[in-house]
Chain A
Amino acid sequence: MSDTHVDIDEDALSAEVSKLDTIPESPDEYGTRQRARRTPGGSAMSVLRWAWYSLTSMRTALILLFLLALASVPGSILPQRGGSDPLRVSDYYAKHPTLAPILDHLGLFNVFGSAWFAAIYLLLFISLAGCVLPRSRRHLRAMRLRPPAAPRNISRLPVSTSWHTDQSPDDALGRAHELLRRKHFRADRADNVDSRADRADNVDSRADRADNVDFRADRADTVDSRADRGTGPTSSVNAEKGHLRETGNLLFHVSLLVVLVGIALTSVFGFTGSALVKEHDGFTDTTIDYDSFSPGRFVNIDKLPPFSFTLNKFEATYQRGGPANGDANSFAANVSWQPSLGAPPRDYTIEVNHPLSTQGTNVYLANHGYAPHFIVRDGSGHSFDETVPFIPQPGTSQYDGVVKLPDAKPQQLGITGIFLPTASANPVNGMPTSIFPAPDNPAVVIGVFSGDLGLNSGLPQSVYALDTAKMSRIATTTLRPGDTLTLPNGAGTVTFVGYDQWAAFNITHDPGKPVVFGAVCATVLGLVMSLAIRRRRLWVRASRDDSGRTLVEVGGLTRTDASGGFEDEFKRLVTALQSVVPPTAQDG
Chain B
Amino acid sequence: MEKSTFKVKVGLAEMLKGGVIMDVVNVEQARIAEDAGAAAVMALERVPAQIRKDGGVARASDPEMIQAIQAAVNIPVMAKCRIGHFMEARILEALEVDFIDESEVLTPADEDFHIDKGAFKTPFVCGCTNLGEALRRIGEGAAMLRTKGEAGTGNIVEGVRHLRQLRSEIRKITQMGHEELMTEAKRLAAPYHLVEQIAETGRLPVPNFAAGGIASPADAALCMALGAEAVFVGSGIFLSADPAKRARAVVEGTTYWEDPARLAKVSTGLGAAMAGLEMATLGDADRMAKRGW
Do the two shown chains form a genuine complex with each other?
no
